[in-house]
Amino acid sequence: MIKLFKNLLLVGLVCFTVIACAQKKSAITEFDNENPVFYDTDSVHINAHGAGMLYVDDTYYWVGEHKVAGGRGNKSWVGVRMYSSKDLYNWKNEGVALKVVKDTTSKLQEGSVIERPKVIYNDKTGKYVMWFHHELKGQGYDAALTGVAVSDSVTGPYEYLDSFRMHPGVWPVNFNEEQQAWAKELLNQDIGRKEALEAGVYLARDFEVGQMSRDMTLFKDDDGTAYHITASEENGTLIISKLAPDYLSLSDEYVRVFPGGNNEAPAIFKKDGKYYMFTSGLTGWDPNPARSAVAENMMGPWTALGNPVRGTEEERKTTFRTQSTHVIPVEGKKDAFIFVADRWTPQDAIKGEYIFLPVEFEDGKPVLRWYPQWDLSFFDNK
């Protein structure tokens, strides 16, 4: 009898613990930037670095780089992973949306580098289109390609189409004949990086083979026009390109933005008809001061707005030890935008963390402050 009682007690205790844990798991109700690990609903560390987000049928989808442990984790051994969430706090693992392959003749082979994947939906074709920064296996960061994949379903599987340099044989619309001639003339002259970037020398160098594309993002406008924004010209100049109407390729229309500005990690959002951009500087995995910019038109001109971080000197110098990756427009809330950033751990890539901060506005400028814990009610009564 006593034994039975003991057993019942034990079962009761186990049940209580399981229920308590389950409740705890489903009860995430805030962003916790002091414990920025972000577990999925199976209690596994979310593995979707360099995130992009999109909203489909009342659900947010988070797409990102699946990393593995150690330094080799900075290369792609699995592919692009997806998660879904109804509330932006609790994320369900939706599996691998784009898989790297064993076939060593494919550009998408294991050990290539896939970074910063982003997905947008094409209303006309009914397809989900993924773009990502792609480096070929064994070539470091030299290839500087942009890759594209497509799916009928948001969570995939995505069919890989190709990876390529941008705009071979096409000049940007904001680079006139005089500038083209001057850039070509400087091509074989011994000038410094800054001068070369300002004059478009790398642009001229890569004119035939196509322009480089590294840190990138996508932006889909209200009218369905979509843009590819990327660090080009040895990461010295941003290039913004209009996508073709089916989003599967780039159109010929593109502009250079901030030549010689050394911007990486672009993230774009739109508020009151204006376009805003966060970027980082150029220090690899190490954090640096963020930048911000505004434009009336995606194709420019863009105006720099300076470092958006408000806080201590250390916070301003390192952007809270993060690098931008995306801005989420919060559905159903006015002027509610979330800055999403990576805190990289390149020596053990899988351990990278995610920081979510509300975007505030001061004198028409987007600004970022550190909030250790916060929730979406932050945006109410704004």
* Interaction site with ligand GAL (CB under 6 A): 50, 115-116, 215, 264-265, 284-285, 323
Nearest distance in Å: CB 238, ligand GAL: 13
Report, in Å, the least distance between residue 288 CB and ligand GAL: 9
Burial of 180 (0-12, 13-18, 19+ CB in 10 A): middle
Q: Do the beta carbons of residue 128 and residue 154 sit within 8 Å?
A: yes
Question: Could you count the other beta carbons within 10 Å of the beta carbon of residue 305?
Answer: 18
Instruction: Indicate the residue among 230 and 323 with the shorter CB distance to ligand GAL.
Output: 323
Backbone angles phi, psi at 168, to 5 degrees: -60, 135
Q: Whole-number minimum distance, CB 135 to ligand GAL, in Å?
A: 8
Rounded to whole angstroms, the Cα distance separating 171 from 168 reads 8
Which residue, 25 or 321, is less far from ligand GAL as judged by CB? Answer: 321
Task: Please identify, using beta-carbon distances, which residue of 264 and 360 lies nearer to ligand GAL.
Answer: 264
Q: Pick between residue 155 and residue 324 the one whose CB is nearest to ligand GAL.
A: 324
Q: Measured between alpha carbons, how far is 66 from 46 in angstroms, rounded to an integer? A: 9
Under DSSP, is residue 202 helix (H, G, I), strand (E, B) or coil?
helix
Q: What is the smallest separation between the CB atom of 319 and ligand GAL, expressed in angstroms?
A: 12
Q: Are 358 and 337 in contact (CB under 8 A)?
A: yes
Nearest residue to ligand GAL, scored by beta-carbon proximity: 284
In whole angstroms, how close is the CB of 149 to ligand GAL at the nearest point? Answer: 18
Nearer to ligand GAL, 319 or 323 (CB): 323
Location of structure tokens 């070539």: 139
Q: What angle do CA 167, 172, 175 make, to 5 degrees?
A: 150
Cβ 285 to ligand GAL shortest distance, Å: 5
* Rg of the chain taking only CA atoms, in angstroms: 22
Three-class secondary structure of residue 243 per DSSP: strand
The one-letter amino acid code at 55 reads: Y
Tell the smallest beta-carbon distance from residue 253 to ligand GAL (Å).
26
Task: Note the helical H segments in the chain.
Answer: 2-26, 177-186, 193-199, 201-205, 313-318
168 contacts 209 by C-beta, under 8 angstroms? yes
Please identify, using beta-carbon distances, which residue of 68 and 330 lies nearer to ligand GAL: 68
C-beta of 122 vs 237, nearer to ligand GAL: 237
